[in-house]
Structure 1
Amino acid sequence: MHIADGVLGTPVLMAGIAMTLAGTVLGLRKLDDDKIPFAAVLSACFFVASLIHVPLGPSSVHLIFNGLIGLILGWLAFPVMLIALVLQAIFFGFGGVVVLGVNCLNIALPAVMVGALLRPLRHRIPARILGFLAGSGAVLLTGIMVSLSLYLSGEAFSSTARVVFWGNLPLSVLEGVISGFIIVLISKVKPEVLNGVQSNA
C-alpha cells in the first residue's frame, strides 16, 4: 500500500499531510495509559507484516492489519500507523518521506471507518465474522484510496490505479481470514481487549 515519492501531485500530497496531521492529533488525544501496550504491539505487527510486500507499479501489496487496529484502537490508528511508516521510510526506503501523509491516510482512515462501523456490532456477530469484515473491509477501502490517490495525480496513473485496486482484492480476502482467526484468539485469551479498550476508542 506504500506509494513511492515523486509520483503524486502536490494537491494530493498536501491534502494527505493535512488530514493525517488532524487524524494523528485526534488519536493522540485518546491515548490513555491502558492503550499504550496495545498501540505498541499493533504498530509492531503492522511494521513487520508490511515488510513482506509485492511491488505493484508505484505502489505495493502486503498485509497491513489496519482493520484489526481500527477495531481495537479507533482513532489511535493514525499515530500507530504513522510511527511504523516513518520507521519503514527511514530504515528500509518503503514509500517515502514526502508521501508519508498520503500513505498514512490511505491506511489509517479506513481503519478508523471500519472500527467505527463494526465496533457497535462486536456483541452481535461471531468473532470470526467480525474479524473477517474488519480485515477485508479495511484493506478494500485502502485499495480504493490508494487507487484514487494515483488517479487524482494525473491521467498517466489511471491504468495503474485500476491495477492497484484489482491487485488488492485477493489481499482483502486473505487479510479478512487472518484477522478473523486473530479476533477469535483474542476473544478467548484476552476478551477485555474487545470489550473494554475498544469501547473507549
Structure 2
Amino acid sequence: MAHIPDGILSVPVLVGGGVVAAAGVALAIRRIDDRSIPRMAILSAVFFVASLISVPIGPSSVHLLLSGLMGLILGVGIFPAVVVALVLQAVLFGFGGLTTLGINATNIALPGAIVGLLLGPWVRHARSPFRAGLLAAVGAALCVLATGGLVALALWLSSSEFTPVAKVVLITYVPLALADAVITAAIIGFLARVRPQALLPHLASPDR
C-alpha cells in the first residue's frame, strides 16, 4: 500500500509530503549530470513496471519498491525517477493519486536517498562483489521498512481511526523487505563485479 489513493490523508500530511518531494526533485535537477539521465530513465521504468505487480497479503497488498537499488545508483536522483513513474501510474492505471503524489513519492524516495547517501560509499568501495551485495541488501531492506513506517505514519497523522490499518501495513512490509533485499543484492553484486562504474552517481557539484 505504498500508493496511497486520493481522499484518505489530511491536508497537512499532503502538504508536508509535497514539500519534501518538491525539495528532493529540485535538488536532483540542480545537481543532475547528463550521464545520469539514461540510468534515471531506466530505473524509473523498472520501478514503474515492478510496482504494477501487486501481491495480496491479508487485507492489503505489496509490490516491489527497489528504492534501495535506485538510491544506491541514483542518489538524490531517485526523487525525479519515482515522481515520473508515480505520475504515469496514477494517470494511466489509477494507482495512487494525484493529490497524494507528493507524499507517495516522499515515502518511497526519501529512504532510498538516505540509504544512497549513507551506504553508497561503502557499497562502491566494498572489497568484493559479495560484500557490496550484502550491504545493498541491508540498505534495501531498511528502505522498504522505512517506507512502511512512513506510510503508517501518514495514515496515523491523518486520523487515529487508521491506527489498525497502519499496524497491518507495517506487518505486510516485512516479507517485501526480504524480497527487495534479495533482488537488490543480486543486481548490485553483479554490477560491482562486471561494471563497478555503474554504481557511481553522476551528480554535478551543488554550485555548478
Shorter-chain TM-score category? over 0.9
Query: TM-score, normalization: structure 2?
Result: 0.90
- Does 2:171 align with 1:171? no
Structure 1 contact 8–149 (Cα < 8 Å) conserved: yes
- The answer for the alignment partner of 1:160 in structure 2 is 165
2:201 aligns to what? 197
Do the aligned partners of residues 2 and 15 (structure 1) sit closer, same or farther apart at CA in structure 2, a change above 3 Å counting?
same
The residue matched to 2:105 in structure 1 has which SS? helix
Deviation at 1:54, TM superposition (A): 3.5
After superposition, what is the alpha-carbon deviation per residue over 1:84-105, rounded to whole angstroms, capped at 9, x for unaligned?
0000000000000111100000
2:146 to 102, 121, 141: 141
Q: Kindly state the Cα deviation for residue 55 of structure 1 after the two structures are TM-superposed.
A: 5.7
What 5-or-longer segments of structure 2 have no aligned partner?
none
Q: Percent identity, aligned pairs only?
A: 47
Aligned residues: 200
**Residue aligning to 1:132:** 137
Shift of 1:193: 1.1
CA shift, 1:197, in A, is 2.9
Q: How does 1:37-52 map to 2 (within 5 A)?
A: 37-52=38-53
Is the 8 Å Cα contact of residues 75 and 201 (structure 2) preserved in structure 1? no
Runs of 4+ aligned residues of structure 1 deviating over 2 Å after TM superposition are: 54-60, 196-201
Q: Which moved more, 1:185-194 or 1:9-18?
A: 185-194
Note if contact 1:2-1:60 (Cα within 8 Å) is conserved in structure 2.
no
Quote the Cα distance in structure 2 between the aligned partners of 1:172 and 1:77.
Answer: 18
After the TM superposition, which residues 1-201 of structure 1 pair with which residues of structure 2 at under 5 Å, given as runs?
1-54=2-55, 60-122=61-123, 123-124=125-126, 126-194=131-199, 196-197=200-201
Write the distance in 2 (CA, Å) between the matches of 1:165 and 1:157.
12
1: distance between equivalents of 2:7 and 2:197? Answer: 44
In structure 2, the CA distance between the partners of 1:5 and 1:59, relative to structure 1 (3 Å rule), is: farther
Cα offsets for 1:69-117 (capped at 9, x unmatched): 0011111111000000000000000000111100000000001111111
Structure 1 residues without counterparts, runs of 5 or longer:
none
Query: Would you say the 8 A contact 2:35–2:202 is kept in 1?
Result: no
Quick one: structure 1 residues 37 and 45, their matched pair in 2 at CA, closer, same or farther if it must change by over 3 Å? Answer: same
Q: 1:156 to 1:54 in 2, by over 3 A?
A: farther
Deviation at 1:131, TM superposition (A): 2.0
- The one-letter code matched in structure 1 to 2:115 is V
The 1:100–1:151 alpha-carbon spacing in structure 2 relative to 1, beyond 3 Å, is same
CA distance in 2, matches of 1:199, 1:133: 24
Q: Is the 8 A contact 2:32 2:204 kept in 1?
A: no
* Alpha-carbon offset, residue 188 of structure 1: 2.2
